Amino acid sequence: MDPSRIAFHGTLAQLVDKVESGEMVPKLQASHAPPCKFWTAFQVLNGIRHMAPVIHGPKGCTYSVASSYKMRGCEYRGVPLEPTTCTAQDEADVIYGGEGKLLEAVKEADQRYHPDLIVILSCCCSGIVGDDVETVAETAAFQVQARVLALRSEGFGGDFRSGYEDAFRALMDLMEPRTEVMKGTVNIIGAREGPTYTEWTQDLDEIQRLVKGIGARINGVLCGGCTVEEIRRASSAEINASWCYDWGQKLGDLMEERFGVPYARTGQPYGPAATEEWIMGVAEPLGLERQARQFIAEESAAVADEVRTLQRCFQGKTTLIEISEFPGPIRALSLARMAEEFGAHPVVINLHPYTVKERLPSLKFLLSRGENPEVILTHGIFALGSFNASASTQEDVAMIASQYDNALYVGSPLRQPGVPQLNMTTMTGYPQYGYRGIRNMARLAESGLEHAARPRSRLFKRVLYGD
Amino acid sequence: MATERVTNAAAAARCHDPYLRCALYGAAQTALGVRGCCVLSHSPQGCFQLVDAAFGWQDADYTETLTLCTKLCEDEIVHGGEGVLARTILEARELDVRLMFVVTACGPEIVGDDIMAVCQDLQPEVEFPLVPILCAGFRGDQNRGIEIALEAMLEHLVPEEGGFRVPRSVCLVAPHANSNPTWMGDLAWVREVLAAMGATVVATLAHDTAPEDFEKVPMAEGCLVLSHDAGQGAADLLAERYGVEQWCRDLPLPIGFSNTASWLRELGRRLGAEAVAEGMIARGEATVVERCRRKGLEQSPLHRTPAAIVADATVGVPLLRFLAEDLEVVPTLVCLRSGQADAQAMLEREIASLGVSPTVIRDADVYAAKKALGEARPEMVFGSNVERHAVEELGIPFVFRIVNPLSRFRMVDRAYFGYEGMLNLIEVMRNDWLDRYRSRHRRYRARW
């Protein structure tokens, strides 16, 4: 392996140590910026029906999230377009403060849209000038019909992850105390507006199918299109389960601490073992083991051929799972586990130190369960300029693949390293979760092997790598 | 006939559901129109998403145009972000940068980062020119950002002395302030027209503009502002500093037979190419007529149908005449999301001259547009995907999606200007009409 291209080569545990000790600086280069805290907080809240956001900021922040999340979510999910409002802060508001205007805007939003919930989100401007959004929310709550929450979500105030977590935390204020437990009822937690690269409706649908398959009932998917009423009674569900341990973890921990709602701590249901684990993680606390065992047996039998296909495709291979475009870090680790289950040796490529820092609790959880795959970081992901990074990463991945006689590449078709590859991004390949996911992945893996020798097209080469 | 009602929607409201992004976005759009440039967003990482969106709007090529971000966090807001800005500019030396624009967001401007001073201090240390643009979101909407960026370009990149004047030359301004999602088609048509009239485009501010083109700006004889939403400030500066005269100023942009003919005639007069203009008009009109004869022009859904326009001024104002005059539609509502000061007067002139009496809403946001549509209850709306959603509960049958945001991908640039532009608009109407007309109900199962 060309050492000049490799920034790190070791295990996941070693990488986590290096990031924690500051030996690997968890910083994204200038050209690779995920959304800010405001964007991600909005993303969570946008998954609530009849919620009117009142963004205390300029128009740019507002139209941007409306266009990227609201409109896209509506088109993808087939739900109606609802408003994304703001105070349209201008220079005068920055100089004199805009609390009065904000209060009026909240009242106007209530009169115009009759929402179930109004959430005031602060932006950089209102955050820096010190507008007290919480007090405005408290005042407004007495003057409007809707419930009113405030969220400090200035873009500079935290990383993208803190936006998700703070939004989930704020939502707990809508939840009633846990009184009478709704037997056999589950909250699916950690969802956002969808679709994001990490959250596909088809995967959520499969999760819901698994829950229903064991005879349990779902209260709501928080916040994947849920209602305020579902949030209100979420504290009385018998258990919380996450569509992805990473995203649900914070809300699960907080609801456990505040309301005593147990949280099924399981990874993502990729492959037979993890799917069974996910199902039993929900079934056992609900006392539904028998139904669950029967469901697992039926579903497993139905995908037996596909499981054999996957075993044939993975057995004895080195599986290179490259994550910078997709499937993202946590799915990559879930895929690594699945690859191992099918007899492959997984190598995760380009788990960025930034993402390691942001996901430490989840990574430590996975490590505690013995998931500690080999990890390689290439210099490509640290290259400045997104095109430079992309072209360079292709060369890096091709170089790594050439080191193995039997490599199988799992990731995005943005790369084509010259070995059999499983395209994890094709729209027709979802869900990837659960038993339906096994079926889809078997199809994709088989196609990957069959067409391994096909070259990268001249068109793609020139578009993607500038060759 | 006088306008029944003109409302400024933005004036009264406290709660806005905007159609537009902020000044940072407009400035980034403009900067990204310069080929081979690097745009550094001195901002938290969320604002970088606006730069990304601007990148898309300019059809920038990611193999040659770079976007960077200082990713400001709490530390930089508390202690200032000049250090991280300086570091990022210096780091960019390892990249192939021909010109760097530094665009600033709300945070660093409020805390007082002196971006101008940082750029000035670092200029001797980097080989590429640094152009600071103070375009915080609170300074205004995206059209204001375009004006700010154009002014910065003229200030930093255009020489003070004009040099010699290139005969029959023109500088094109703000082609990107246009809600046609493939406005590059409009720009291409304008370029073709100018070439046919023997004119030279010395610079376009800005789309695929070579950095060296800025030096030629003062050599232009005239300038054409290709937007009714932004660019007037830059045209005024060009006139004031370099004596570059603005052409076609009071004319609606060339959408529809009459507007296109007036625009071409005026251009022909300026360039001494009257005969060429007349030839273009004759050939263009003949082409449209012939195409409509051969392929069919659907009249029944259009004839005297009450219609609403929800668009920016660039498309919305000239579209009015095309609809009323050429397509025999009855405009009952004109809802403009934006527009320069002159655009309102131009719209009033158009309304009076057409003898129609639509309700006019200025500075409309989504709520104002929806409310106006609810009151006017037109039978068709010329707008965007937003209106497609907004009218679902209003029972308005047709929404022709012509302006941004669209839910349809376009790989090929489609002009709305000129004669092919008319055909493009008719094509959109026909397809959206058919799409709406097609039944979604399956009454029996197929047997094949």
**A81 interface with B at CB cutoff 8 Å:** yes
Per the CB < 8 Å rule, is B88 touching A39?
Answer: no
What residues of chain B lie within 8 A of the CB of A31, using their CB?
66-69
B423 vs B431: CA distance, rounded Å: 12
Could you please report the per-residue DSSP string of A383-450?
Answer: -SSHHHHHHHHHHHHHHHHTT-SSEEEEE-TT---SS-EEETT-GGG---SHHHHHHHHHHHHHHHHH
Element (H, E) at A182: strand A182-189
- Tell me the nearest-neighbour CA distance from A392 into chain B, angstroms: 12
Q: Which residues contact B312 (CB under 8 A, 6 or more apart)?
A: B177, B178, B179, B228, B229, B336, B337, B338, B339, B403
A390 vs A381: CA distance, rounded Å: 8
Per the CB < 8 Å rule, is A86 touching B16?
Answer: yes
Q: Estimate the share of chain A in helix, then strand, then coil, as percent rounded to the nearest 5.
A: 55, 15, 30
Please check whether residue A336 is in contact with residue A346, taking contact to mean a CB–CB distance below 8 angstroms. Answer: yes
- The pLDDT, as a whole number, for residue A394 is 87
A396 vs A379: CA distance, rounded Å: 8
A49 vs A290: CA distance, rounded Å: 36
* Burial label, A5 (beta-carbon count in 10 A; 0-12, 13-18, 19+): middle
Q: Which of A333, A337, A224 is nearest to A277 (CA)?
A: A337
Per the CB < 8 Å rule, is A86 touching B18?
Answer: yes
Q: How many residue pairs bridge chain A and chain B with CB atoms within 8 Å of each other?
A: 183
A452 vs A406: CA distance, rounded Å: 12
What residues of chain A lie within 8 A of the CB of B106, using their CB?
57-58, 94, 123-125, 128
- Token pair, residue A433, equals 């979760």
Of B25, B68, B107, the CB nearest to A156: B107
**B79 interface with A at CB cutoff 8 Å:** no
- Tell me the nearest-neighbour CA distance from B263 into chain A, angstroms: 33
Task: Look up the pTM and report it.
Answer: 0.94
Q: Which of A45, A295, A318, A294 is nearest to A166 (CA)?
A: A45
What residues of chain B lie within 8 A of the CB of A118, using their CB?
none
A187 vs A165: CA distance, rounded Å: 17
Sheet holding A85-86, edge to edge: A85-86, A51-56, A117-122, A147-151
Of B17, B50, B393, the CB nearest to A64: B50
Q: Using CB atoms and an 8 Å cut-off, which of residues 21-60 of chain A contact chain B?
A: 28, 30-31, 33-39, 54, 57-60
- The pLDDT, as a whole number, for residue A77 is 82
- The pLDDT, as a whole number, for residue B392 is 87
What residues of chain A lie within 8 A of the CB of B338, using their CB?
none
What size, in residues, is chain A?
A: 467
**A66 interface with B at CB cutoff 8 Å:** yes
- The pLDDT, as a whole number, for residue A386 is 67
Of A80, A128, A155, the CB nearest to B111: A128
Q: Is the pLDDT at B1 greater than 60, yes or no?
A: no
**B224 interface with A at CB cutoff 8 Å:** no
B331 vs B256: CA distance, rounded Å: 15
Decide: helix, strand or coil at residue B334: strand
Instruction: Kindly compute the dihedral angle of the four CA atoms of residues A49, A51, A53, A54, in this order, to the nearest 10 degrees.
Output: 160
Per the CB < 8 Å rule, is B46 touching A38?
Answer: yes
Per the CB < 8 Å rule, is A155 touching B46?
Answer: yes
**B243 interface with A at CB cutoff 8 Å:** no
Inter-CA distances, A376 with A380, A383, A386, B174, Å: 11, 16, 20, 47
A378 vs A160: CA distance, rounded Å: 23
In terms of pLDDT, which residue wins out, A160 or B193? B193
Q: Which chain A residue's Cα is nearest to B387?
A: A81
pLDDT tens, residue by residue, B343-381: 999 999 999 999 999 999 999 999 999 999 999 999 999
Instruction: Kindly compute the dihedral angle of the four CA atoms of residues B376, B382, B388, B389, in this order, to the nearest 10 degrees.
Output: -50
Per the CB < 8 Å rule, is A33 touching B367?
Answer: no
**B364 interface with A at CB cutoff 8 Å:** no
Q: Which chain B residue's Cα is nearest to A76?
A: B407
Could you please report the per-residue DSSP string of B399-410?
Answer: EEE-SSSPSS--
Please check whether residue A153 is in contact with residue A122, taking contact to mean a CB–CB distance below 8 angstroms. Answer: yes
Average pLDDT rounded to a whole number, residues B252-265: 98
- For residue B222, the Cα-to-chain-centroid distance in whole angstroms is 20
Half-sphere exposure of A137 (CA within 13 A, CB side): 22
Inter-CA distances, A155 with A39, A160, A271, Å: 8, 8, 37
Q: What angle do CA B25, B50, B223 make, to 5 degrees?
A: 30
Q: Using CB atoms and an 8 Å cut-off, which of residues 362-421 of chain A contact chain B?
A: 384-388
Of A62, A71, A94, the CB nearest to B18: A62
Q: Which residues contact B108 (CB under 8 A, 6 or more apart)?
A: B42, B43, B72, B76, B77, B81, B85, B115, B136
> What confidence category does residue B218 fall into, taking pLDDT thresholds of 50, 70 and 90?
very high
A344 vs A178: CA distance, rounded Å: 45
Amino acid sitting at position B282: A
Per the CB < 8 Å rule, is A385 touching B47?
Answer: no
Inter-CA distances, B339 with A191, B227, B229, Å: 40, 9, 4
Q: What are phi and psi of A277, to 5 degrees?
A: -60, -40
- The pLDDT, as a whole number, for residue B7 is 77
Amino acid sitting at position B440: R
- The pLDDT, as a whole number, for residue A441 is 96
Per the CB < 8 Å rule, is A60 touching B22?
Answer: yes
- Tell me the nearest-neighbour CA distance from B426 into chain A, angstroms: 25
Burial A280-314 (b: 16+ CB within 10 A, else e): bbbbebbebeebbeebbeebeeebeebbebbeebb
B77 vs A126: CA distance, rounded Å: 13
Per the CB < 8 Å rule, is B45 touching A35?
Answer: yes
- Tell me the nearest-neighbour CA distance from A31 into chain B, angstroms: 4
**B8 interface with A at CB cutoff 8 Å:** no
Per the CB < 8 Å rule, is A386 touching B67?
Answer: yes
Instruction: Tell me how crowded residue B247 is: count the other CB atoms within 10 A of its CB.
Output: 19
Percent of chain B at pLDDT > 70 equals: 98
What residues of chain A lie within 8 A of the CB of B16, using their CB?
59, 62, 85-88, 105
> What confidence category does residue B236 fall into, taking pLDDT thresholds of 50, 70 and 90?
very high
Per the CB < 8 Å rule, is B16 touching A59?
Answer: yes
Q: Which chain A residue's Cα is nearest to B38?
A: A385
Query: Mean pLDDT of all residues in chain B?
Result: 94
Q: Which of B29, B75, B106, B403 to mutate: most A Cβ within 10 Å?
A: B106
- Tell me the nearest-neighbour CA distance from B347 into chain A, angstroms: 25
- The pLDDT, as a whole number, for residue B425 is 97
Per the CB < 8 Å rule, is B45 touching A36?
Answer: yes
Q: Using CB atoms and an 8 Å cut-off, which of residues 174-233 of chain A contact chain B?
A: none
Please check whether residue B242 is in contact with residue B217, taking contact to mean a CB–CB distance below 8 angstroms. Answer: yes
B393 vs B375: CA distance, rounded Å: 13
Distance from first CA to last CA of chain B, Å, rounded?
Answer: 59
Per-residue pLDDT tens digits of chain A, which is 467 residues long: 788 889 999 999 999 999 999 998 777 777 777 889 999 999 999 999 999 999 999 999 999 999 988 888 888 888 899 999 999 999 999 999 899 999 999 999 999 999 999 999 999 999 999 999 999 999 999 999 999 999 999 999 988 889 999 999 999 999 999 989 999 999 999 998 877 777 788 999 999 999 999 999 999 999 999 999 999 999 999 999 998 888 888 899 999 999 999 999 888 999 999 999 999 999 999 999 999 999 999 999 999 999 999 999 999 999 999 987 777 889 999 999 999 999 999 999 998 888 888 888 889 989 998 899 999 998 888 877 666 677 888 889 999 999 998 999 999 898 899 999 999 888 888 999 999 999 999 999 999 999 999 999 999 988 888 87
What residues of chain A lie within 8 A of the CB of B43, using their CB?
155
Per the CB < 8 Å rule, is A59 touching B111?
Answer: no
Question: Which residue reads 């306008």 in tokens?
Answer: B3
Q: Which of B143, B79, B72 is nearest to B102 (CA)?
A: B72
Average pLDDT rounded to a whole number, residues B394-411: 92
What residues of chain A lie within 8 A of the CB of B24, using their CB?
60
Q: Is the pLDDT at B5 greater than 70, yes or no?
A: no
Instruction: State whether the Cα torsion B341-B347-B350-B351 is positive or negative.
Output: negative
Question: Which residue reads 């009602």 in tokens?
Answer: B5
Q: Which of A27, A67, A85, A156 to mutate: most B Cβ within 10 Å?
A: A156
What residues of chain B lie within 8 A of the CB of A124, using their CB?
44, 77, 105-107, 110
**B337 interface with A at CB cutoff 8 Å:** no
Q: Which of B19, B38, B42, B45 to mutate: most A Cβ within 10 Å?
A: B45
> What confidence category does residue B208 fall into, taking pLDDT thresholds of 50, 70 and 90?
very high
Q: Is the pLDDT at B3 greater than 70, yes or no?
A: no
Per the CB < 8 Å rule, is A31 touching B91?
Answer: no
Of A37, A384, A466, the CB nearest to B91: A384
- The pLDDT, as a whole number, for residue B439 is 78
Of A30, A34, A93, the CB nearest to B68: A30
